[in-house]
Amino acid sequence: MASGEQGLWAQLVDSENAIYGAHEGHRAAHAKGTLCAGVFTATPAASKLTRAAHLQGEAIRTHVRFSNAAGDPTKRDGTNDARGMAVKFYLPDGGTTDISATTASVFVARIPEDVLELNTARKPLPETGKPDLDKVGAYLGSHPEAVPAVEEAMLSQAPVSYLQRRYFALHAFKFISADGVENWIRYRWEPDEGEALLKREEAQQKDHDYLRADLEEHLGRGPQGFRLWVEVAEEGDPVDDPTARWPEDRENVELGRLEITELAFDREKDGDVLVFDPTRVTDGIELSNDPILLARPHIYAESVLRRSGVRRDA
């Protein structure tokens, strides 16, 4: 990897720290989260789309991490912020594969350099603690592709529960079936309970860590579920651009159901480093050339090194 690229990954983590602060032992983004255990079972329709091992119908063990998008683990859960749902599938051969998703339905940039430019514009001013709106406005004026994601973020509301939000995986992946048929797809998770949001004043009245308490309460009553769906691209749909939505009439296929069973305490202890990396795919799934997707393992490696001292090769 070129030294310039290595410098870019460090600058991107620095830019997140400049917005949220550097918090020892925590991720640079999605710093506050709760880990759960679960089981995923694919539908018959999944095995027709891809030969991937975890999508053939066998019950697959998973870890699921719900999180708030900010890089500050001390922020209140009631903050209007995106939420994350990352799922690690433990494959029959001993390997793993991951899906990382967020409540944002589109991303804010097409290339990592633009993320750095936007984060620099968003850096809070010392005198106000808020970004310079002129700088942010200038960025949006020169990067109109970022506007849908920013507008969505401005309208975001805190969730009633992590279990009552839809989550989108943002990037496209190529599915390859057992007989070699190829389709580009995008994942999303649909909650069994449907979506529910809080008004701003309701969110402000919630306890500081109400989302974790809600998970404990829900799971104390029994397993909680999500359905995994994919949107299937047609010819001409952009597969390398996470800022672009596909037309609403695209085919949707249900791949399976995730049953979340309990809080998990068996990872991220005794030096274990848990990373959810969407580029960690298995046979039957391939990556696009999306520059944001391909940058993720390098940025994660830099963040992992800083929070754990472990060098993880991307």
179-236 pLDDT, tens digit per residue, is 999 999 999 999 999 999 999 999 999 999 999 999 999 999 999 999 999 999 999 9
Please classify residue 216 by burial: count the beta carbons closer than 10 Å to its beta carbon, then call 0-12 exposed, 13-18 middle and 19+ buried: exposed
Angle between helices 291-308 and 3-20 (to 10 degrees): 70
* Closest-CA residue to 152 (of 81, 101, 102, 104): 104
With contact defined as beta carbons under 8 Å apart, do 146 and 107 qualify?
no
| First-to-last C-alpha distance (Å) of the chain | 10
Confidence of residue 312 (pLDDT cuts 50, 70, 90): low
Q: List domains and CATH numbers for the chain.
A: 3-308 (2.40.180.10)
What is the distance between the alpha carbons of residues 213 and 196, in angstroms, rounded to a whole number?
Answer: 16
Structure tokens at 149: 């994601």
Q: What is the pLDDT of residue 1?
A: 43
The two beta strands, 252-263 and 33-42, are antiparallel
Per-residue pLDDT at 3 exceeds 60: no
The stretch 87-109 carries a mean pLDDT of 97
Banded model confidence at residue 314, pLDDT cuts 50, 70, 90: very low
Strand 96-102 relative to strand 182-191: parallel, antiparallel, unpaired?
unpaired
* Residue 30 annotated to the active site: yes
Q: Please compute Rg for the chain using Cα positions.
A: 19
Separation of alpha carbons 27 and 43, rounded Å: 34
Q: What is the DSSP string of 21-87?
A: ---TTS-SSS-SEEEEEEEEEE-HHHHHH---GGGSSS-EEEEEEEEESSS-TTS-TTSS--EEEEE
Please name the residues in contact with 286: beta carbons below 8 A apart, sequence gap of 6 or more. 173, 174, 176
The tokens of 43 are what?
Answer: 């539908």
Mean pLDDT of the chain, nearest integer: 95
CA atoms of 48 and 181, how far apart (whole Å)? 9
Of 30, 54, 63, 298, the catalytic one is 30
What is the pLDDT averaged over residues 250-256?
98
Q: How far is CA 153 from CA 58, 104, 116, 168, 209, in A?
A: 37, 7, 18, 14, 21
**What pLDDT is attached to residue 309?**
82
Q: Where are the alpha helices (DSSP H) in the chain?
A: 3-20, 44-49, 112-122, 133-142, 147-154, 200-205, 210-221, 291-308
| pLDDT at residue 275 in the model | 94
